[in-house]
Amino acid sequence: MPNVLIAGAGHGGLVAAILLAKQGYTVKLYEKRKREALGYDWHDAVPRRLFENAGLPEPPEGMFLPADRMAYYSPAKQIKLYPDVEPTFCMIDRKELMAYLLSLAEESGVQLLFEREILSAVVDGGRVTGLRVRSGDDTQIVNGDLVVDAAGMDSPVRRSLPARFGIDRELRGGDIFYTWRGYFDKTADEFSDPPYIVYFFHNGVPGMDWMITGEDFMDVLVGGFGGLSKAQVEASLNDFHKEYPYMGDRLLRGGHFARIPLRGHAPVFVADGYAAVGDSAFMTEPLSGSGIGLSMSAGKRLADAVLEAQGDTSVETLWRYNRDRIRKGAECGYFDLLLKNFLSALKPADVDFFFEKHIMTAKEMGERGGYSLPEILEKANILKKPGLMPALSSTAARIAMLGRVKSALPEEYDRKSVAAWKTLYHKVFR
C-alpha cells in the first residue's frame, strides 16, 4: 500500500486522507499550525450536500444553519436585486467543520502532525517523492508515494515544483480577492431586510462588501479586487455604521485580513507523485470565492482515482482526477469565470448602468446556472454603451472559444497534448 503525505490541513486534503486511510493506506498529515488554531472564526456558506458529495458521514445534528435571504445593492445604492436563491446552500461554523473533519481523520487512522512547517517538495527524477518539513529547529525529509498538496493558495509545495511540470505556481494580482472580515456586536434588537446585503463597489472601491445582520451580531466583509488597505476597511466600516446605527464597535469574532483565489481552477495540478486539491489548485468559484464544497468533493475524486488505480500514483492516473475536476469546472465555473473577467473591466458607473437598464437582473444574480452571460452581453450590446465595447468584444471572443476548450481537454495524459490544451485554456481565461 502506498504511503500518502498530506501537506496542510486543507479541507480537500483531509477528505482524501480520511478516504484513503479507511482503505488501509498509511496517511500522515503535516500542518504548520496548532490544532486549535485551525478554521476561520466565522460562518461560511456551503452546499447542503457537502458531506454526501465528499463521501463522508453526516455531521452531528445542528451543525448546518439556514442561509439568510439576500439582496445585491448597486454601487449608487439606488437599486436592490433580490435573487431567487434555492435552499441548496446553508451556513456552517468553520471551526466546527474543521474539528469534525479532524475527528473523522483520527478515527480513520490518519496520523495528524501539528506544528510541522512544510518548506518545499522533494523532487527526484521528475517525480515528487516527499516533503521537507521543519519542526522547531529540526528539518527533515519525509518520503511518500503520493504528496497531496492541501496547503492553500500560498502552498510552498506547489511553488517549489520545477517549471517542467507545467503547473501554474503563482497567482496574478487580479486573481486574488483581498478581504477583511469581522463580527461586531448589536446595540439594538433591529434587523435589515433582507438580513444579507451584498454591496458592489462599496464607496467606489472595485470590490464587493457584505453585511449580514444576525440575531446578536453584525457580520461584515470588506473585499477588494486589486488589494485592500486598512483605510479602505475603515471607510467601509464607517459607512456601515451610518447605514446600520445598531452596529456596535465591539469586535466579537474574526477581525483580520485574508485572501481568496478568485479565478478558475489551475488547468494542470498533478504530476508523478503529486496532486493539489482546494485552494492550492485555485479551486474556488470565480465569482463568489467559495471553495469549501469544491475542495471537499475534489478530495473524494482524488481518493477515488488512486483507489481505482490500486494505489498507482503516476501522472497518468492522477490526470483522471485533474480531467474530471476541470470538466466539473466546465459545468459550474466557466461562465462565472468569464463574467469575472468582464466585471473586472467595469467601473462603478458601468455597474449602476447595468442595474438601471435591467441588464443585470435578479435572474442573472440568482444561484449558479442563473447567469446567462450571452444574454447579458446581447442586452448590453443592444444598448451600445461605447465605453463597454472593448470588454464586451473580448468577452464575446472568449465565449466563442469556450467550446474548443471543453472538447480539446485530453482524455488520457500525454505531456504534449496537455501542454497544448493548457495554452488554449489560458488564452480563454487570462
User: At closest approach, how far in Å is the CB of 113 from ligand FAD?
Assistant: 9
Q: Which stretch binds ligand FAD (CB under 6 A): 189-197, 275-283, 383-391, 416-424?
A: 275-283
* Shortest CB 279 distance to ligand FAD, Å: 4
Of the residues 290, 313, 317, 395, which one makes contact with ligand FAD according to CB under 6 A: 290
DSSP notation for 339-360: HHHHHTT--HHHHHHHHHTTSS
Minimum CB distance to ligand FAD smaller for 17 or for 46:
46
User: Of the candidates 4, 5, 6, 11, which one interacts with ligand FAD according to CB under 6 A?
Assistant: 11
Contact stretch for ligand FAD (CB under 6 A) within 41-49, 135-143, 341-349, 389-397: 41-49
As a whole number of angstroms, the distance between CA 383 and CA 200 comes to 22
Residues 204-223 that bind ligand FAD (CB under 6 A): 221
Residue 96: all three cell numbers together: 466546527
3-state DSSP percent of the chain in helix, strand and coil, to 5: 40, 25, 35
Of residues 8 and 329, the one with the C-beta less far from ligand FAD: 8
Cell numbers found for residue 310: 490500486
Q: Does 132 bind ligand FAD (CB under 6 A)?
A: no
Tell me: does residue 12 bind ligand FAD (CB under 6 A).
Answer: yes
Question: Under the criterion CB under 6 A, does residue 232 sit at the interface with ligand FAD?
Answer: no
Residue 361 C-alpha cell reads as: 437582473
Q: Does 235 bind ligand FAD (CB under 6 A)?
A: no
Q: How far is CA 4 from the centre of its chain?
A: 24
Give the gyration radius of the chain's Cα atoms: 22
Site membership for ligand FAD, residue 117 (CB under 6 A): yes
Q: Smaller CB distance to ligand FAD: residue 286 or 311? A: 286
Which H helix or E strand runs over 44? strand 43-47
Q: Which is nearer to ligand FAD, 93 or 364 (CB)?
A: 93
With binding defined as CB under 6 A, does residue 325 bind ligand FAD?
no
| Of 80-88, 163-171, 285-293, 381-389: span binding ligand FAD (CB under 6 A) | 285-293
Three-state helix/strand/coil letters over 214-236:
CCCCEEEEEEECCCCCHHHHHHH
Interaction between residue 115 and ligand FAD (CB under 6 A): no
- Residue 31 exposure: Cα atoms within 13 Å on the Cβ side: 21
| Conformation bin of residue 263: beta by default, left when phi > 0, alpha when psi is -120 to 50 | beta
Residue 393 CB, shortest distance to ligand FAD, in Å, is 32
DSSP 244: -
Q: Rule CB under 6 A: say whether 402 interacts with ligand FAD.
A: no
Distance CA 124, CA 275 (A): 16
User: Are 3 and 144 contacting, i.e. CB atoms less than 8 angstroms apart?
Assistant: yes
DSSP for residue 40: -
**Residues forming the site for ligand FAD (CB under 6 A):** 8-12, 30-33, 38, 44-46, 117-118, 150-152, 156, 179, 181, 221, 258, 260, 278-280, 284, 289-293, 295
